[in-house]
Structure 1
C-alpha cells in the first residue's frame, strides 16, 4: 500500500464528498423551508403578537435551519486530506454564532418588507427575494470565514454563479408562494413545491460555491476548536428534530381543526361573515369562517322544520338587531343550559324546548363574540336565510328549478346540517385589530372556493348568500322620508299560511315608488280621497280625466300622482295590479332619520292592496314572495323602531320567570352551618329576596311608567285602521306590541272590500 503524503502548511488539501451528508443537508434545508413557508402562510397582518411571533419564527426557521443548518451539515460532507481526523474543518465559535444570527436578522427585515397583505407587490416580493438570497450568500461566506485551520480559496466564476442561483431561486420560490397565497390557492402541495425550490436555492448556492472552493492548510499545529465536526452534526441534528416535532404537532392540530370543522357543519351552527370597507371577507388562516355549534339535536328540539318562518328564528332575527336586550342575561342562560340534559329534551313541553333553543342561539352568539374578541352588542345581524350543508357540495352544476318547485324547496334540506350567518361590515381599525388576532381578509372571489369546501356547500349557493349579506351590511334597507305609493299583495301558500310580495333587492320593503313631495298637502289629501276604494285601473282612468279637465295649480299635482302610479306599474309589470284596491289612509312607516331627529323624520305611504292568485307563479324581475310572518318581523327591526324597547322588556320578563329547576344549584359547602355560625356570628343572613337574586341569574326588577293596553277590534274597517294608525303614533312605553301596519292591512285584505 502506498504511503499517503503528509499535508504541509500552505498546501491545498485534497477533498472529496460523502453522498449521505449531501442528501442530509438538503433534507435539513427542506424542513426549514417548509416550516418557513407554513409560518408565513399563517400570517394575517403586520400587527399583533400573533403575527409578530409567526414572522420571527419564519425568520428563525429559515435562517437557522434551512440556511445555517444546511451549511454546516453540508460542510460535514467535505472530506479533506483523505480523511485524516485532525485535518478536517474546524470552526471558530464566535464566527459560528455570528453566522447563526446574522441571516435571521436579514431575513426578518426581508419578510417585514414583503408584508402580509392580500395584495401582492411584485416589487416588494422581488426585493424581499433578493434580500433572502443575499442572506444565504452572506451566511455561507461568513461561515467559511469562521474556519480556523484552513484558508478558503475561491474561484470567482463559481462565486458569481452561486450568488445568481441564490437570488434567482429565492425570488422564484417566494413569488410563487406569495402569489398563490394571495389568491387562496396556496394549498399544501403548492407550499411543498415552493419549499423544494427554496431549499434548492440554498443547497444549489452552497454546493456550487463549495465546488469552486479549495482549502489551504494554515499551519502544522492545528488549533483546538470548540465546535468540531461531530458537535456540529449533533447541534444541527437537534435543531432539525425539534423543527420536525413542531411540524408534526402542527399537522396534528390542523388535522384536528379540519375534522372539527367537518363535524360542525353537520350540526346547526352559527358563523360570522365580516366584511372590511373594501368588501373583502374575513376568514381564518385555514380559509374557514369563525363558527360556533348551536346544537346537534335540532330535530328533537323543534316540532317543525327550522326555517325562516319558525318562531325561534323570528325571535333570534329580532334579537340580533338588538343585542342589548340579551347581553346581560346570557350568563344566566349558560347556567341554565348546564343543567339541561339535551338527550332527554324531547320529553319536555314544546314551549320549554323553544326556550332552550333560544338560549342555545344566544350562548352560541356569545361564544362567537368571544372567539372574535368583539363585544356581543356589535356582533352583527342575522342573515335572513339558512344555509343547508350537503354531501355533494363540490358539485358546481346548478339544478334548474321551475316556478312550480319553489314551494317544495322549503321542505327539502337535503343536507347534514344547517348554518346561520351573522354579518356586518367593520371599520378599517376593527379590521386591523382582527388581523392582529389571526384573521385574514381576502376578496370573496378568491376565498369563495376554500370557504365553500369548509362549509360543504355549493359554490354558487354560498356566493349568492355572501352577495346578499354584503349588500345588506353596507346600508340599511329602509324608506326615505317623504310620501310613497306602494302595493301590498298577499298569496296563499300551498303549505299553509300566506306570503307577501316584496322587493327582490330590499326584501323588507313592499314594491313602492316615492312621490316628488315631502309631505301630503291638503290638496293632495283631497285628491287621494277621491280615489278611495278604486282599482288601480280606475285610478289611472280618473287621473287622465282630471288632468284634461282641470287647470292651474291642481294640474301639476295630478300629473305627479299619475306619473307615480304609472312608474309603479312600469317597475313591477304584473297583471294582478290592475285590480288592486286603493286606500286613501296613509300608513306611517319607519324611515331613514338622516340629519334630523327620528320623531321629525316620517315616511307616509298610500297603498294599493290585492290578493295574488295562488296559481300565479310568474312574477316580474323586481319582486318575489316572502313568508308573511317573517316580513312582519322585519317591520319591527328597523333601526328607528321603538319595538326594540318592548322586546327587551319582554325578554327580561320571560327569562326572569324561569322555574326553580332551571336555577343554578348551590355549590356544596365543606363547612357545616354550626361551624360557619361560630366563625362568623355577626354575618348577615341573606333575605329571601337577596337569596333569589343570588340564585336566579335572570332575576330582574322591571319598572314601567305606562302600559298601553291595545284593545282588540272586532271589525277592521278603513276608518278604524285610520284610528289605529293615529293611536299607534303616540309615544308610550308599551308592554304589549301593537300590530304592524302589514298585519292591519292583511286583515283589511282578508275582509270584504268596501265599495267606493
Structure 2
C-alpha cells in the first residue's frame, strides 16, 4: 500500500513504541525516588546541608522525573510511518527553558511545604498542586519547543491531564510527608510514593499525548535544533549518573547500618538533646548521635562497669565540669596512641582506669565535634548505664592482643550505652538542624531509636522521660529550711544503699518548712527534739502546742504540719523509728545570685538504718548506691568541689599536654641569642617562665589581688613573694560531704526498729 506524502499543513500519522513508554516511566520513577529520598533527608530550612538537599530534590524531579520522562516519552512517538526527516525535532532554546523552569517552580513548592515535623495538609496540598502544575507547564513548554511540527490539542484531554498531574502529586506528597512525620517512612514506603509520583508525571504526559496531533510546518527549521537521538543521549546520561549516586548511597547506608549494629555491642556514648518544646534530636535515619568509647571492659577491669565504678563516678563529675578537662583531651589522645597494655598488665587496675577515663573524654570530644558543639556544651552524663540486648555470637579472647586494643574486647556480647543530655536553646536547635539533625516527638521516633540502640521500647521510653525532666532544670533544693530523711540499707551484694527521691535521685526525701530564716527560738525547739523518733517528735510537738505562747504557736504548727507532710509524701512505716538530729546541715540550693556563700539551704534530718529484708518502698522513693549518691553531692552547680576536681585533673593530666605541645619557633637565631644574652646569665626554662608569669602553672583556691600586692610591697618583698608562691604547690583535699558524716554517724550508732 502506497503511503501518502506528508505536506506542510497536514496532520502526521503517529504510532507509539511500547518499549519507550516503559523506559519513560522508569526514568520518571528514578527521578521521583531520588527526589523523595532527598526530601526525606532534610532536617530544616537553614544551612548548606539542607539547601543542597532542597536544590537537589528540585533538580532530580524537574530534570529527570519530568523533563527526562517527557523527551524519552516523545521518543516513543513515530510520525509519518517512520520517515527519519519527519520525526520530532526541538528548539535548543525552548528545550533549555523547559529544563530550568520546572526546577524553579518545584524549588518554590518544596520551600513552601517546609520541614516541620507536624504536617500541614494545607501546605502539602498547595505544594502538591504547584508540583502538578510544574509537570503540566514543562510538558506544554516542551511541546511548544518542537521545531518542525505544530501541536494541535483537544481541550478535554488537556483538562484531564491537568487533573491527573495535580491529584496524583498531592496523593504522593501527602503520603510521603505524613509517613515521614510519623517516622514510618521506611524505604518501601518511599518506593511506593515514588510509583505514585512517577504515575502523576507519566499519566499526565500520555493522556495529553493521546489528545495531541502534529501538523507539519511550512517554515524552515532553525539551525539550533536537537533530534530525538541527541535528547535520548542527554536524558540517558542524567539517569545513569543518578542511578550511580543512588547505588553509592545504598552502599553507604548499608555500611552505616552494619556499623550501628556493631556499635551497640560496645560501650558507647550517645547525645540526648531536647529543644524547648521537648522534641528529641535525632539524625535523618532516626538514630541518636553516638560515639564508640570502647568494647565492654568487664573482662579486664576488677569490677563490673556500673554506676558505682570509680571511672563512672569520675566521668559523671567531669560532665558537670567540662572546662576542667577540655584542655587536656588532645594530650589524652596522644597518650592513648603510646600506651602498651602488655606492660600495664590486667593487675594494674589504676593504669587501666586511667586509660578508660581518657577513652571517655576522647569519645566525648569526638561526639561534640560530630554535633559541631563546644565540649563544654555537650551536656551532663545520665546517671544510668543501659545494656543493649544484642548478643554477639563470637566471644572475644581476652588473652590476645596488644596496646590499647586489649581493652577493646567483648566479654559478654552485650553492649553498654551512656547518655549525655541537655536542653538546647532555639538558636542552637536551628543550628543543629542546619547541620543535618531533626527534632521530633519522642513518641513518634521511639521505635526507630530503640531499634538503633537495641533496647526495649518501654525501657527506653522511661529513661528518655527521666532525661527530659532532668534536662529542664537542675535538681537542687530551694533556699530555706528543710526536713529530710536519711536512710541507709545494706546491699546483699556488698556496700550500702541510700533512699532517695524517685524524681530527684540526687536528693534525700524532704519537705520544706514555710519559714525562710532560722531564729534562736527555732533552734531551741529543734534542740529539744534531738534524739527523738519521728513518732515521738509528733507527740512532743502536740504537747508543746498545748502549752505554748501565741508567739511560738505559728512555728510549732508549721513544724508539725511539715513532719506530717513528710510522712504523707513518703508513707513507709519504718520512718516512724527514724531519729531526729538537731544538728543542721548546710546544703547547696538554687540561687539567683553569684555569691556561692548564699547558695545554701539548712536541712534537719531524721536518720535510720532500714532492715535489709525491707524490700517494698513507697512510690516517692527508690534505692541508690551510697557511693554514687555521695558523689552527686559534689556536683551541684554551686559546689566548690568543681575547683578541687579541676586541680586534680590538672595535676594528673597536665603532663600529657606538655609532652605533646609543639615547641614555638625561636624569634632569634641561637648565635645572635647567645651574643645578646650570655650563657652564664641565661635563666633556665622554669625561671624564665616564672619571670614572664610568676603565677604560671599554679592553681590556687582563693583569689589573689596581685595589683594590691604590688602597691603594698616594695620590689624585694614582691620578688620574694613571687618565688615563694612559685615554690609552694597548693594542694587541696576534698572535705567529707554531709552524707559521709551522717553515714558514719548512722553506722557508729545503729538503731534497730
Summarize the alignment of residues 275-354 of structure 1 with structure 2, pairs less than 5 Å apart: 275-296=274-295, 298-341=297-340, 346-347=345-346, 349-354=348-353
CA contact (8 A) 1:301 1:345 kept: no
2-side partners of 1:211 and 1:371: how far apart? 54
- Where do 5+ consecutive residues of structure 1 fail to align? 394-412, 668-675, 694-698, 708-732
How much does 1:370 deviate?
A: 0.7
Q: Distance in 1 between matches of 2:23 and 2:344?
A: 60
What is the total number of aligned residue pairs between the two structures? 695
- Equivalent pair of 1:103/1:138 in contact (CA under 8 Å): yes
Q: In the TM superposition, what is the alpha-carbon distance from 1:111 to its structure 2 partner?
A: 0.4
Conservation of the 8 A alpha-carbon contact between 1:486 and 1:606? yes
Change (3 A) 1:85 1:127: same
Partner of 1:553: 551
Q: Which residue of 2 aligns with 1:443?
A: 441
Could you tell me how far 1:222 is from its partner in structure 2?
5.8
Q: In structure 2, what is the equivalent of residue 670 of structure 1?
A: none
Cα offset, 1:752, TM superposition: 2.4
Hey, what does 2:739 align to over in structure 1? 742
Q: Distance in 1 between matches of 2:186 and 2:688?
A: 56
Q: Quick one: distance in 2 between partners of 1:235 and 1:679? A: 69
Distance in 2, matches of 1:26 and 1:692, equals 78
1:3 deviates by 2.0
- Counterpart of 2:478 in structure 1 is 480
Greater shift, 481-490 or 111-120, is seen at 111-120
1:241 aligns with 2:240: yes
2 CA distance for matches of 1:187 and 1:286? 10
Mapped contact 1:652–1:700 kept (Cα < 8 A): no
> Is residue 2:564 matched to residue 1:580?
no
1:607 equivalent in structure 2? 605
* CA distance in 2: counterparts of 1:702 and 1:543, whole angstroms: 54
Shift of 1:687: 8.3
Contact between 2:643 and 2:701, CA under 8 Å: does it hold in 1? Answer: no
1:120 aligned partner? 119
Q: Which residue of 1 aligns with 2:420?
A: 422
| Deviation at residue 663 of structure 1 after TM alignment | 4.8
Q: Is the 8 A contact 2:265 2:390 kept in 1?
A: no
Separation in 1, partners of 2:489, 2:671: 74
2-structure distance, mates of 1:500, 1:680: 65
SS in 1 for 2:452: helix
The alpha-carbon deviation at position 656 of structure 1 amounts to 3.3
User: Who is 1:164 aligned against?
Assistant: 163
Secondary structure in 2 aligned to 1:329? helix
1:360 equivalent in structure 2: 359
Compute the displacement of 1:299 (Å).
2.9
Please give the residue correspondences for 1:528-547 in structure 2 after superposition, counting only pairs within 5 Å.
Answer: 528-547=526-545
The 1:286–1:341 alpha-carbon spacing in structure 2 relative to 1, beyond 3 Å, is: farther
Deviations 1:316-358 (A, max 9, x none): 0000000010011111111101112458764462111101100
Deviation of 1:528 after TM superposition, in Å, equals 0.9
| Deviation per residue, 1:420-460 (Å, 9 max, x gap) | 00000000000000000110001100111111111111111
Residue 701 (structure 1) aligned with residue 684 (structure 2)? no
Correspondence for 1:722? none
Aligned residue in 1 for 2:708? none
Say which SS state the counterpart of residue 622 (structure 2) adopts: strand
1:107 equivalent to 2:106? Answer yes
Q: CA deviation at 1:664?
A: 4.8
Alpha carbons of 1:388 and 1:753: their partners in 2 closer, same or farther (altered >3 Å)?
Answer: closer
TM-score by length of 2: 0.88
Q: What are the equivalent positions in structure 2 for 1:148-547 lying under 5 Å apart?
A: 148-219=147-218, 226-296=225-295, 298-341=297-340, 346-347=345-346, 349-391=348-390, 416-547=414-545
Matches within 5 A, 1:637-652: 637-652=635-650
The equivalent residue for 1:719 is none
Displacement after TM superposition at 1:203 (Å): 0.1
The equivalent residue for 1:617 is 615
User: What is the distance in 2 between the residues matched to 1:505 and 1:655?
Assistant: 36
Post-superposition Cα deviations, 1:130-169, rounded to whole Å, max 9, x if no partner, equal: 0000000000000000001111000100000000000000
Offset at residue 554 of structure 1 (A): 1.5
- Conserved in 1, the CA contact under 8 Å of 2:599 and 2:638? no
How many Å separate the matches in 2 of 1:681 and 1:555?
A: 85
How far 1:700 moved relative to its partner? 7.6
Conservation of the 8 A alpha-carbon contact between 1:120 and 1:182 = yes
Q: CA deviation at 1:551?
A: 3.2
The separation in 2 between residues aligned to 1:754 and 1:580, in whole angstroms, is 9
What RMSD over aligned residues (CA atoms) do the two structures have, in Å? 2.6
Partner of 1:481, secondary structure, is: coil
Q: Please give the secondary structure, in 2, of the residue aligned with 1:63.
A: helix
Say which is worse superposed, 314-323 or 2-11, in terms of deviation.
2-11
Output one character per residue of 1:553-587: Cα deviation in whole Å (capped at 9) or x when no partner: 11222111111111111111111111111100100
SS in structure 1 opposite 2:615?
Answer: coil
Q: Deviations over 1:71-125 (max 9, x none)?
A: 0000000000111111100000000000000000000000011111212111111
1:600-655 Cα distance to aligned partner (Å, 9 max, x none)? 24310110000000000000110011000000111000011111001000111122
The question of whether the paired residues in 1 share the 8 Å contact of 2:390 and 2:415 is answered with no
Contact 1:125 1:174 in 2 (8 A): yes
